[in-house]
Amino acid sequence: MAEPVDQWWARRQFSRGTDVPYPVGTYREAWASFPALIRQYHPELNSGFTLSQIPPAAEVLLQWQCEAGHVFVATPAEQRDRPGQRRRRSAWCPECTRLALSRPNPRVSVIRDAQNQSQASARRPARPPRSARPLCDKTPALPTGSPFVSVCAPKPASAVEAELRAGLETRLAQTTGLNAIRVARPFFDHLEVWPDIVLPELQVALEYDSTGRHGLEHVGKRQRADERKDRALRSAGWEVVRIRTGRLPALGPHDIVASGVTKKTYERIIDELRAIRGPLFVDAYLR
């Protein structure tokens, strides 16, 4: 059960037998990929404890303040999972999200809101479980692991991805234009996934990950979606190389943690491809 930070700290002092169970900086790396939360956290609101002293999995109630000035209480897990599907800065703050959606304050008249929700649920038909939702029928009937051109794939939105793709095309002779891979199990209502870059001859998918403009991308729930996507690709016989920037940690054995796309980054990608498929095979495709 979550508890106020003072009580949580006192209990940790007792259980660990020390005045400072978590020195400043202990969890700095764990929070590094959440710049929005680093900005929202203020030690003066939390009895002077720094964010780097708080384990991300701790059941502790912390106070946060968004850039609009709203102060609210949430556990580390609640904050790290907060962005959801909304790609805007206000998604990190429940009050900003409420105002953006023009919803009534959930803290007001809790009993009345619960009654209204119960009545609304009784009036509308039950939503089918996710497993019962139909799959997209636009995925071609190809063997699992087959790369192809998908009409459902989103258009590339990152200039860095385009730069990375062009840089690899000058270094590797691979079939271009493919943007999807058939997988065995559903991934968000599709039997296909859409890597940033598909290297069909090597059966390797490349992904470029950053936290994005508002620190929303590839963290929290979206990181779990990335991990699920990687599992789907590997079960289809493919390997994944993620270029992780913005202090994002590596997710897989061949991920590359970098500050950005540089000449050195391409060299590291080629080295990882050699580690995956063997130098003789990979070098045969070098330009």
pLDDT, residue 219, reads: 86
CATH 3.40.960 range(s) for the chain read 147-283
Residues contacting residue 73 through CB under 8 Å, at least 6 positions apart: 61, 62, 63, 64
Q: In angstroms, rounded to a whole number, what is the distance separating the alpha carbons of residues 242 and 226?
A: 10
Reported for 272-276, long-range contacts at CB under 8 A and 24+ positions apart, including other chains, are: 272/241, 273/199, 273/202, 273/204, 273/241, 276/202, 276/204, 276/239, 276/241
Q: In angstroms, rounded to a whole number, what is the distance separating the alpha carbons of residues 180 and 261?
A: 23
Q: Which of 73, 79, 72, 36 is nearest to 57 (CA)?
A: 79
Q: In angstroms, rounded to a whole number, what is the distance separating the alpha carbons of residues 150 and 199?
A: 15
**Residue type for 235, please?**
S
Q: Which fold has domain 147-283?
A: Endonuclease; Chain A (3.40.960)
pLDDT, residue 31, reads: 93
Q: Which of 259, 164, 252 is nearest to 210 (CA)?
A: 259
pLDDT, residue 111, reads: 37
Judge whether 185 and 193 are in contact, CB under 8 Å: no
Two tokens, residue 34: 């959440």
Residues contacting residue 234 through CB under 8 Å, at least 6 positions apart: 240
Two tokens, residue 218: 């590839």
Q: What is the pLDDT of residues 114-127, one digit of tens each?
A: 445 555 555 555 55
pLDDT, residue 97, reads: 84
What stretch of H or E contains 31?
helix 28-31
Helix, strand and coil percent figures for the chain, each rounded to 5: 40, 15, 50
pLDDT, residue 100, reads: 76
Judge whether 241 and 205 are in contact, CB under 8 Å: yes
Residue given tokens 């590339």 in the structure block: 156
Tell me whether residue 139 is exposed, middle or buried, using C-beta atoms within 10 angstroms of its C-beta: 0 to 12, 13 to 18, 19 or more. Answer: middle
Q: Which of 69, 76, 66 is nearest to 39 (CA)?
A: 66
Q: In angstroms, rounded to a whole number, what is the distance separating the alpha carbons of residues 246 and 209?
A: 8
Q: What is the pLDDT of residues 2-16, one digit of tens each?
A: 899 999 999 999 999
Residues contacting residue 226 through CB under 8 Å, at least 6 positions apart: 207, 209, 218, 242, 251
Phi, psi of 208, deg, nearest 5? -110, 120
Dihedral angle, C-alpha 266, 267, 269, 274, nearest 10 °: 150
Decide: pTM greater than 0.85.
no
Q: In angstroms, rounded to a whole number, what is the distance separating the alpha carbons of residues 137 and 263?
A: 41
Grouped pLDDT means (10 residues each) for the chain, 287 residues: 92 94 94 91 95 94 93 93 73 85 49 48 54 82 96 87 94 95 94 96 96 83 92 96 93 94 95 97 96
pLDDT, residue 126, reads: 57
Residue given tokens 């599992």 in the structure block: 231
